[in-house]
Amino acid sequence: EPEVTQTPSHQVTQMGQEVILRCVPISNHLYFYWYRQILGQKVEFLVSFYNNEISEKSEIFDDQFSVERPDGSNFTLKIRSTKLEDSAMYFCASVQTGKGQPQHFGDGTRLSIL
């Protein structure tokens, strides 16, 4: 069964550095998402992406964050200047169409900011 894959599984970065988290969604999926989960808290929506543009973003997704689909397969989340509070598990998800279809999640990237 096809899966969403995320790399790296764990990223350790100094505060203020840029970080790029990578995701390869399932190949025939059209909608892509990033979520994050701070330790001990719930999974929170960050951004959704469709047809090569952001379709919705949360209040968390400020100017420090950006997403890109640089080619036909990768979907990336960039944090320009990381803060301590960006430490979290970041999940990528994708879905084939929209209404009623379940989102498929990757294993996540654990981001640790020092």
Q: Which residues contact other proteins by CB under 8 A?
A: 4, 31, 33, 35, 41-45, 48, 50, 55-56, 91, 93, 95, 98-108
- In whole angstroms, how close is the CB of 25 to other proteins at the nearest point? 13
* 108 φψ region: left (φ > 0), alpha (ψ -120 to 50), beta (else): left
- In whole angstroms, how close is the CB of 102 to other proteins at the nearest point? 4
Place of tokens 């998800």: 93
- In whole angstroms, how close is the CB of 85 to other proteins at the nearest point? 19
Query: With contact defined as beta carbons under 8 Å apart, do 19 and 12 qualify?
Result: no
